[in-house]
Structure 1
Amino acid sequence: MDIAIIGGGAAAVGLLDALARAGTSGPVTVFEPSPHLWRGRPYGPDLDSVLVNVPPAIMSIRHGDRDHYAAWLGARATEHMDERLGHPIVPRPLYGRYLEDTAEKAAAELGVRVVESAVVAVTRAGGRLALRTSDGSVHLADQVALCVGGGRPRDHYGLEGTPGYIGDPYPLARTLENVAPDREVMVIGSGLTAIDVVVSLAARGHTGPISLVSRTGMLPYVWQRPGPYRPRHVTVERVQALGEVTLDGLEGLLRAEMAEAGEDLGALVEDLRGAWTEDPVARLRRQLADIDGPEIGRRVVQETAHTVGPHAWRLLGEADRERLRAWSRVATGVASPMVPVNAARLLELFDSGQLSVVRGAAGIGPNAADVVVNAVNPPPHSIPGGAAELAASLVDERLAAPYPSGGLVPADPRVHIVGDLAGDGPFITSGIPGVAAQGAAAARAIGAALT
């Protein structure tokens, strides 16, 4: 039976690795038009200042093997050590090499064929599925996995075409190349993408003023130094044992986790609430000073948001989901923190007066600054523009269905979705652990169908 994988980024790598480890048989074809095969948009060639924002143990593309990436990194880890974090934080292009090496090994075992064309439609063809590519070719498959990545930033203020406007910042090596060092730069957003922009400007010797403009002005949390503690209550097994999964039940698991360590959940909740009102620079300074703090609460939330969170989300009722969505900005900030080396650079820029945060921006005009960079993340589960025609064909053929909050869900057992396009996942952008878990689940389903 033929397996087709649409897209060749990190999601495809996780799926291929899982298929190879399972000893899956059957021809595998990967469709990817990008010249940066296996890297996807986030991990292609770029500036060395664009860093992986996560410690190695949470960046393994091999599901269930936390040491896979660290073992690959080996002696290179010492060259990229974040001394405050106590772990290596590498440039994203180097992580892209890890994805390439992992994919190429799996591809060799599976005998993968790569087609350098985009799939624009999937239709039914008797008992099989027909994939039509942009060059008009048709390929038949029995199992299809969509690994097309996420969407692109939206132009909320209608600035497209305005001189000095950068609608999509990546790769920063290209978009910042012509930004003169003394220009005033406004960055729309204050999340991890905005921090990449600011830190990269500073690394290029930028001297002009830089402002972060967003509705909330919230900065992401700062990673604390990872410790040996592994969650014992906030686990997939304990969530399943709840029976009916509710937000109160999940809170009870976290409360038990923290109580066992002698900590109070109420203190963590108050800290999270403070994100709405506390001065962002004071908050950044406090968190940078607390990297070695012994408390486990935030560490548990950060780890389990990407491992247990997607599973728990699918079991929650809609009312509880809405309660969480109201906290989406805070939840994203704590689940996807910034690395200390970037936090320290930001604080230096704030203290020097070169960088500022502007809260509550209702509108941004075309002459707001010499350069305006759109660093607002796309909505969760948004369909990439390049995959819109493909998504429409899947819906028309009733192979997939649109999900109310965005994205697609399979409507046919021969179709699998890995990554942020999966519509039934949480609002937090899929991290590598979540993508790897989805890839492993898709590999199991494909394997079952082939037997």
Structure 2
Amino acid sequence: MKIAIVGAGTAGVTLLKEMVKYDEFNDVSVDIYDNKVNMGQGVPFQNDSDQLLINLPARQMSINLDKPEEFFEWYEEQKEFKYMNPEYLPRFIFGHYMKSYLNKYNDEYNNVSLISEEVQEIFIESNIGDTALKYNICTSDDIDSCRTYDCVFLTIGTLSYHDPYNLKGTKGYIQSPYPTYNTLDEVDDTDSIAVIGTGLASLDVIRYVTEHHPNLPITVTSRKGALPRVRGNMPDLEFKYLTPENFNELKRQHFGTVPLEEAMKLFDLECEYYNIQVNKMLDVNMENHIEQLEFDLNHPDELGSFQSLLEGIKENMNWIWNSFSRTDQIEFLNRYQRILKANSNPMPPRTAELIIHGIKNNLVKIKPNLKNVTYDSNKFNFQYDDGKDTHEQYDVGKDTHEQYDVVINATGSKTHLADLDADDQLVINLENRQLIQAHPLGGIQIVPETNQVISPRFGTLNDVYALGQLTNGINQSRNGVMMIVKQAVGVVSQLFKS
């Protein structure tokens, strides 16, 4: 059997790591595709500034479910990278840990090939009237150069960044903040800088720009203007009420789905059992960023218990999410997704201390109520519903405007196929050739239990699997490293069993 893995980041490397455990691996050949820069590291863990920290403690990072501290042990043994305080390590080091696995297997196994080229096309070869399918992968527009496979894994990683104000291609507009050490290459020391987005990516920009750009403060803004929470001391919690058994019983009572209201009752029971005061954790004034960050830093145990509970929900989101009706899934996204995202993707305490220092010393301004951004006369014009402490501002009616020379986009990656452009051409081609179809809540349609791709033309593709962010509509909030690793373990087990 010939297998192709398209994308060599966390999912791609983990798939290979799991495959080599099986005796059947000797009977297959595996080709792994990615560009030279991302081969083995992926985009999130590419080489970048060491100021960009993993938002998990190093001892909790691993692509080995049997050894949760494997990454930290690898770090301790290697000699190339050493830091005084290794509790939170730079992201690129995790990339080198993954790449060491890939290089090891490439050296050990003759049936593994690394193809350092971007995949441009994937198409199905099937004769009219024949149900047998072959999958062709092409790295150029020469169809004769395409390779044929029996099984394909789509592990392409994150999609390209949003462009919410249609500024891509505008002089002074930086569409993606990564790698950050190239962000300021085209920026003059006198340029004023604004950042769109206040999530984790914006924190990376703040860390780098405040250290390397003399014209401060930088303004960081979004519609809500809310920062992620700070990671607390997270204990191990085991669900007592949010269990598959209770969900199955509710599904029997409610025509095969679990009402969101009933699920929230189970959540409340979990909070009561672990003495988690949800209202206290959520009543923090998120508009006063110093107040929020200092509260989080001063309540690491209480906040950590709350975050552990939400992390447990994320880890089990495959069966939780797919037990809800479509109506309740939308309701969940509207009411709870923001809370889940802010608390289950928290920033390291060191980053929070840096942000507090930046705000207090006028190095950083964080603003809500962003309404629109336009470009005119070599300036970016930021329009707000209201505003205070503005930079070069002028009022027009109820709106407040600001002007900047450079804009860095930190809004995060796209989630819906309808928003894709040429930066995601492979996915656009896959949809156009009817190999994939959009999920209404994001990403593509897959079978939740198996990660098999559902094609609008061929039905369930038994030998095509998708993992990671491309499946975000089904695998809601399950894009963390450990979640992807768990998906890979299950998929490989199923592959060799079948």
User: TM-score, normalised on structure 1?
Assistant: 0.88
Q: Which residue of 1 aligns with 2:17?
A: 17
Corresponding position of 1:447: 496
Name stretches of at least 5 consecutive residues in structure 2 with no aligned partner.
127-131, 252-257, 380-402, 446-452, 455-460
Aligned residue among 120, 132, 135 for 1:129: 135
Shift, 1:209, TM fit: 1.1
Aligned residues: 439
Number of the residue aligned with 1:145: 153
Q: Among residues 45, 58, 61, which one is paired with 1:59 in the alignment? A: 61
In structure 2, the CA distance between the partners of 1:146 and 1:22, relative to structure 1 (3 Å rule), is same
Question: SS where residue 163 of structure 2 aligns?
Answer: coil
Aligned residue number for residue 391 of structure 1: 427
Letter in 2 for 1:259: E
1:355 and 2:364 matched: yes
Deviation by residue 1:325-380 (Cα, 9 ceiling, x = unmatched)? 11333321111111111110000001112211111110123322122111101233
Of the three residues 301, 305, 310, the one matched with 1:296 is 305
* Matched residue, 2:413: 378
CA distance change for structure 1 residues 170 and 416 in 2, over 3 Å: closer, same or farther?
Answer: same
Structure 2 match to 1:285: 294
The 3-state SS of whatever aligns with 2:281 is helix
Q: Greater relative contact order (Cα 8 A, min sep 6): structure 1 or 2?
A: 1
- Alignment partner, residue 98 of structure 2: 99
**SS of aligned partner of 1:73:** helix
Counterpart-to-counterpart distance in 1, 2:207 and 2:178: 14
Q: CA deviation at 1:41?
A: 1.0
Q: Percent identity?
A: 23
* Distance 1:20-1:357 versus aligned 2 partners, 3 A rule: same
**325-334 or 421-430, which deviates more:** 421-430
Aligned counterparts of 1:315 and 1:359: Cα–Cα separation in 2: 35
| Counterpart position of 1:40 | 42
Deviates more, 1:347-356 or 1:65-74: 65-74
Q: Which has the larger radius of gyration?
A: 2
Contact 2:7-2:156 within 8 A present in 1 as well = yes
Paired letter, 2:193: V
Alignment of 1:258 with 2:261, yes or no, is no
Compute the displacement of 1:389 (Å). 4.5
Separation (CA, whole Å) in 2 of partners of 1:270 and 1:293: 9
1:169 equivalenced with 2:169 (yes/no): no
Maintained 8 Å contact 2:216/2:364: no
Task: Return the match for 1:343 from 315, 340, 352.
Answer: 352
C-alpha distance in 1, partners of 2:42/2:282?
Answer: 33
Per-residue CA distance 1:198-242 (angstroms, 9 max, x = gap): 011123264511111100010000000233x33233776556555
Partner secondary structure for residue 194 of structure 2: strand
Q: CA deviation at 1:447?
A: 1.3
1:397 positional shift:
5.2
Task: Give the Cα separation in 2 of the matches to 1:144 and 1:211.
Answer: 44
Question: Does structure 2 conserve the Cα–Cα contact (< 8 Å) formed by 1:143 and 1:446?
Answer: no
| TM-superposition CA deviations, 1:250-284 (whole Å, max 9, x none) | 434433333333x14xx314533656x64233111
Deviations 1:164-186 (CA, angstroms, capped at 9, x unpaired): 22111100111124444554221
Distance 1:93 1:254 in 2: 36
Q: Helix, strand or coil for the counterpart of 1:362?
A: strand
**Structure 1: where are the runs of 5+ without partners?**
none
Is the contact between residue 380 and residue 427 of structure 1 (CA under 8 Å) also seen in structure 2? no
What code does the residue aligned with 2:471 have? A
For 1:291-349, what per-residue CA distance to the aligned partner results, in whole angstroms no more than 9, with x for missing partners?
Answer: 24476223221x22431123321222112211221133332111111111111000000
| Distance across 2 between alignment mates of 1:79 and 1:291 | 27
Segment drifting more, 171-180 vs 101-110: 101-110
- The aligned residue for residue 388 of structure 2 is none
Amino acid at match of 2:71: Y
| Contact 1:51/1:92, CA 8 A, preserved across alignment | yes
Tell me what 1:50 maps to.
52
Which one-letter code corresponds to 1:224 in the other structure?
G
**Conserved 8 A contact 2:65-2:485:** yes
User: Residue 138 of structure 1: CA displacement?
Assistant: 1.5
> CA-atom RMSD, angstroms?
2.8
